[in-house]
Amino acid sequence: MLIGCKCLNEEKTVKRVIGDFHDEPWVDKIIAIDGDSSDYTVQELRQFSKVDVYVHKYLDWYHDQEIMQANIVLSYIPHNEIVFLLDFDERITQPLKEVLSKINEAGEMPDGADLVHIPRRTIDVLRYENSPFAILGRDGWPMESHEIGQFPDYQPRLIRKTHKMHWVQSPHRALVGWIQIAALRDECHILHYEKDDYRDREWIERRWLRQNAKRISLGLPCDLYEVSAKPEFADAIDPNYWKGER
């Protein structure tokens, strides 16, 4: 089975993310698309024998460019190959690893589908007192605090590639071109961690809301997935917050 991922400046997370599944027998190759990182992400990726890394420079802000990078990942997957997609703030749980192993061994997708949605659980992490930085465990992963958001949060992550498939809608992408869809049971899920540095999350939240504010100012409806404003960032949903910015 192929693993597909995209990254930008993930030097500090490469070892924990890739190392968590790299040596699994069901993993044949990992396709990593780097956005021209300014740190040592590419060098860290090249330390793993199963990783093929390709650099495609981000031409826009990370989440605005995300859909293009996702399609670049897809372009490196051969026709009719099964690929599992993972982000660098996510971890594959053991039950999900076991399911992926069985799928790889059988060479068949669940229920004959060409797209399988995977449940995802988002967790906030423990942080040092009066600090935005996460407390890391011995395995290098952030220590869990509590679950946030909805569960299951189904994500389109397991694909048997066809030439008609492509991604639309940044940053919460949706796949088009599939014929039959399936979903895994809730215990076979992805763990999605909040950012190690909470300031990165604050920045991302405001950028997401910027897109909604722009659409409001133009009298347009929300995108496919509407972004709800957290109370602490609610000012950024007001178009006046971005007044004067191009």
pLDDT in tens, 2-32: 999 999 999 999 999 999 999 999 999 999 9
Sign of CA dihedral 146, 194, 30, 79: positive
Q: Examine the pLDDT at 212 and tell me if it is beyond 90.
A: no
Residue from 26, 4, 22 nearest 107 by CA: 26
pLDDT band at residue 62, thresholds of 50, 70 and 90?
low
pLDDT per residue as tens digits for the range 106-151: 999 999 999 999 999 999 999 999 999 999 999 999 999 999 988 9
SS3 139: coil
The number of domains in the chain is 2
pLDDT at 80 over 70: yes
Would you place residue 233 in the very low, low, confident or very high pLDDT band (cuts 50, 70, 90)? confident
Q: Do 107 and 76 share a domain, yes or no?
A: yes
**Residue 153: which pLDDT band, with cuts at 50, 70 and 90?**
very high
Determine the Cα–Cα distance for residues 205 and 191; give it in Å rounded to an integer. Answer: 20
Say if residue 191 is in the same domain as residue 203. no
Sorting pLDDT into bands at 50, 70 and 90, what band is 232? confident
Give dist(CA 110, CA 11) in Å, integer. 34
| Same-domain status, 33 and 92 | yes
pLDDT at 226: 62
Give mean pLDDT, residues 93-102: 97
Q: Does one domain contain both 17 and 46?
A: yes
Are 238 and 135 in the same domain? no
Q: Which range marks the domain in which residue 189 is found?
A: 2-196
Q: Do 46 and 155 fall into the same domain? A: yes
Region for residue 188 given its phi and psi (left: phi exceeds 0; alpha: psi -120 to 50; beta: otherwise): beta
Please name the residues in contact with 190: beta carbons below 8 A apart, sequence gap of 6 or more.
Answer: 86, 90, 91, 92, 93, 96, 118, 119, 120, 121, 155, 157
Predicted confidence (pLDDT) at residue 246 exceeds the cutoff of 90: no
pLDDT in tens, 154-210: 999 999 999 999 998 776 788 999 999 999 999 999 999 999 988 888 877 787 788
pLDDT of residue 225: 58
227 and 145 share a domain? no
Cα separation of the two ends of the chain: 44
pLDDT at 183: 96
Q: Does 180 lie in the same domain as 58?
A: yes
Query: Within this chain, do residues 159 and 233 fall inside the same structural domain, yes or no?
Result: no
Q: Are both 91 and 164 inside the same structural domain?
A: yes
Q: Is 134 in the same domain as 237?
A: no
Higher-confidence residue of 38 and 242: namely 38
Rounded Cα–Cα distance for residues 70 and 61 (Å) = 14
Query: How many CB atoms sit inside 10 A of residue 56's CB?
Result: 17
pLDDT of residue 215: 80
Task: Assess whether 213 and 189 both reside in one domain.
Answer: no
Reduce the DSSP state of residue 57 to 3 states and report it: coil
